[in-house]
Chain A
Amino acid sequence: MAADSKSVKMTDNPVKSGEAAGQTAGAGKAGAVPTLEVKNLSISFGGLKAVDGFNVVIEKGQLYGLIGPNGAGKTTVFNLLTGVYKPDTGMILLDGKNITGKKTIEINQEGIARTFQNIRLFKELSVLDNVKVGLHNHHKYSTLEGILRLPSFYKVEKEMNERAMELLSVFDLDKECDYKASNLPYGKQRKLEIARALATDPKLLLLDEPAAGMNPNETAELMETIRFVREKFSMTILLIEHDMKLVAGICEKLTVLNFGQVLTQGVTSEVLNDRRVITAYLGE
């Protein structure tokens, strides 16, 4: 597969690609507009402040880690970023555009895609179809065209198949494309989830504990894949992870959450040596 970014950008849909091009140009002019900027994000559940004044700035192409002890509010941050929860306060800017309070599907269309801590695949669908659902908003024909099997159906389906197979081959899943998703081994299910998220052509990819439940070999392989995805798709990635080896190995910057608040943030090596971080994990 060619590694140029052209094959990666979705150019099939004229409207969407026009939009995307316009935004990229805008971002280029401003130069320093970060891919994600979050200011003072908070939410509480019945009096408990699950996330309190969360801030982060992620530059384009960065591999950013979000770490913290269990219950620190990491997944809640993801749920806020993807519109599963509406924040009480704060602002979320994606490529400089305010997306605060938007619905989950709108946020995905704006360009944030995610994976889940507990894998959420479309179990009864084939591996290929899982990715094709991800392509849903980029390759279109109407329901009627689909039922009547008009030429547009065959044309778009062909494009979708090619694109989906391309993505699957990145994750070495192309041979299993006809498997039912639930029949894949665990590690491959995690990869398929990433492939599906990438199919939506996001600007920012959120990975929720991608290495959970993996053995050291699988984790090492996953690290390579994440790095590869970043390079190949020039993707900006924010990931939650407990595996410190993985975090130290691939993340350039980290934010540490503790009891819903940002404990510290900065360059990975400095953050990991911070006494407060060690205390938060291990206790005094």
Chain B
Amino acid sequence: MTTLPTSTDRKLGLVIDLDTCVGCHACVISCKGWNTENYGAPLSDQRPYGTEPMGTFLNRVHSYEVQPEAGPAQTVHFPKSCLHCEDAPCVTVCPTGASYKRVEDGIVLVNEDSCIGCGLCAWACPYGARELDQAEGVMKKCTLCVDRIYNENLPEEDQIPSCVRTCPAGARHFGDLGDPNSDVSQLVDSRGGFDLMPEMGTKPVNKYLPPRLKDSWDDQSLLAPLLEPVAEEPKGFLSWLDKTLDKIPGGAS
């Protein structure tokens, strides 16, 4: 059913820390690996060793440069995947009912057996979160690793999305953003987490945490006083040596 639920019991999603992400693309690779071997059709590649290689990815990392009015520019690595929007425009446009948003946890999924591959959901998504697999002809998107997070055959520490489990920097967090007391909600509150393209009215569940502002060149280090020269003028033996050496012709001033 492509009618969106009025509310969901939980709002599972990701919190992505742009301050911590180092842009290593490990989340991209682990996502591709897990989702090629598990839920639904594998994520195909076209010409992987040829010219213009292309493939289906559910998560991609962009890199941006932010140039403030004054001061040096800042580099921000920017992972982007499905934001599991509360008002997901991709779901309502689907003509077959293949796309749906789950009432129990808010995850947006595609039933690939019903998908006709018309591509309209990808047109409706402002974030580029949906990609039509060129080999299978069906729409692929992030499942929030629905086949990991409820999978009791996995060790408990692995029952989180593959990208979160893999991130070596700890820049990705998974949890219930509908519960104000959850770790992820607290993190969003304390760090000023924000939405992407809020003007689209999609109400994304995933949040982004801002990178901290870059240090200024003019900032004084707390340690600066300790780094001052200890003795401005030599005394004792060094004072005699200084004066004697000055008397020898040919020296610098």
Q: State whether these chains interact.
A: no
Please list the residues of chain B having a beta carbon within 8 angstroms of any beta carbon in chain A.
none
